[in-house]
Amino acid sequence: MTAKEVVEEDAATAPESETATAEEEAIDLEARAIAEAMQSADASYVPSPSLLSADDSAPLLAQVDGPDLTIFNSKPNVYQAKAVPVHLRAKLDIPIHVSAGGSVVEYEINTDLYDIGFGVTAEREEGITNVKEKSRVDSHLEPVTGKFLVGSVPCALVFSFDNEYSWFREKKVSYKITVTPPNVENVVTGRRLRAKKALEAVKKDQTEMDERYETVAQKRSELEDAILRLERELTEKKKSMDVVAKEEKWLDKKLAVRKEQITMLSQRLKNGWADEKSEK
């Protein structure tokens, strides 16, 4: 091969090499951005109130641990369909459950002839987050695409296709939704960040509960003392009541005798004695 041919071959292969390098750099940058976003989400992790109020430790630990690495599969899950009808004055919801924090979701949707209302929400125990605000999109002119990271799980993603505004036209929707779980390295990093934040949360909650426990225990002791005092007082009152009841019963009898005596004596003084009349 001549020097000229070598130069020409190098010139021909150089753009391909540069393109490959640029693609690798773009992929690497995206991977780092995903890892940083995942770490940011895990670093701000806060256990939900239901997890903290649970009587069992298992739900909190399951959320902190994330997927079981012995059976973890990092292959993407693809959900797709073509020409799904959305009737006039109706809407179609596509729910997708995501259990692995740090999953990347990509979507591409299009319609056959007309526009449609489209939006994405993320439903969690804490509430509903708008991932993409619902709006009418010209998906019949070009596909609508998007990509986002799911930080907090478990999460139900709902892809909504809204045709309620249309009185005359049925729409046909085609979609492809790809959910790519995080790599093992990100899972390992994420569970450690979540564990650290969860430990801070449960320690803080324990401190608050200790303070509440002391207050409640003191209140219980005070109430027990009050009950004992009331019980002693009640016992004394019962004794006093027995004495009073006996006296009341004795007085009832005596008053009946006195009443009878007063009546009989008054009659004698007024009418005299019977034996005195017989003697006259």
Question: Which tens digit of pLDDT belongs to each residue from 14-31?
Answer: 566 667 787 777 667 777
Residues 161 and 210 in one domain: no
CB contact at 8 A, 99 and 73: no
pLDDT of residue 6: 45
> What are phi and psi for residue 83, nearest 5 degrees?
50, 50
- In the β-sheet with 77-86, what is the strand arrangement from edge to edge? 77-86, 171-180, 103-111, 144-150
What proportion of the chain, given as a percentage, has pLDDT over 70?
91
- What does the block give as tokens for 263? 């009546």
CATH code assigned at 139: 2.60.120.680
Residues 163 and 260 in one domain: no
Sheet with 116-124, side-by-side order of all strands: 91-98, 155-162, 116-124, 127-137
In a domain, 56, yes or no: no
Number of domains in the chain: 2
198 and 171 share one domain = no
Domain assignment of residue 107, yes or no: yes
**Residue 152 domain flag:** yes
Pick from 159, 181, 203: which residue ends a domain?
Answer: 181
Residue 132 shares a structural domain with residue 101: yes
> Residue 29's pLDDT is what?
72
State pTM to two decimals: 0.67
Q: Is the pLDDT of residue 3 over 50?
A: no
* Alpha helical stretches, state H, 114-163: none
Identify whether residues 99 and 151 lie together within a single domain: yes
> Which pLDDT value is given to residue 126?
82
Residues 147 and 134 in one domain: yes
Q: Are strands 171-180 and 103-111 parallel, antiparallel or unpaired?
A: antiparallel
The C-alpha atoms of residue 121 and residue 132 are separated, in whole angstroms, by: 7
Residues 128 and 92 placed together within one structural domain of the fold? yes
Long-range CB contact pairs, 51-55, < 8 A, 24+: 52/201, 52/202, 52/205
Looking at 155, 181, 207, the residue that finishes a domain is: 181
- Residue in 227, 229, 209, 228 with CA at minimum distance from that of residue 217: 209
Distances (CA, A) of 140 to 91, 112, 159, 263: 17, 5, 17, 116
Looking at the fold, whether 254 and 221 belong to one and the same domain comes out as yes
Verify that 84 and 176 share a domain, yes or no. yes
Region 91-117 average pLDDT: 95
131, 153, 181: which is the final residue of a domain? Answer: 181
**Could you tell me if 79 and 132 lie in one domain?**
yes
Within this chain, do residues 190 and 169 fall inside the same structural domain, yes or no? no
The reply to whether 60 falls in a domain is: no
Q: How far apart are CA 51 and CA 59, in angstroms?
A: 6
Q: With left for phi above 0 and alpha for psi between -120 and 50, is residue 127 left, alpha or beta? A: left
* Structure tokens given for 171: 């729409």
Closest CA to 81 of 175, 145, 179, 2: 175
| CA 159 – CA 181 distance, rounded (Å) | 19
In a domain, 278, yes or no: no
Asked whether residue 90 falls in the same domain as residue 167, the answer is yes
Q: Which domain holds residue 104?
A: 75-181
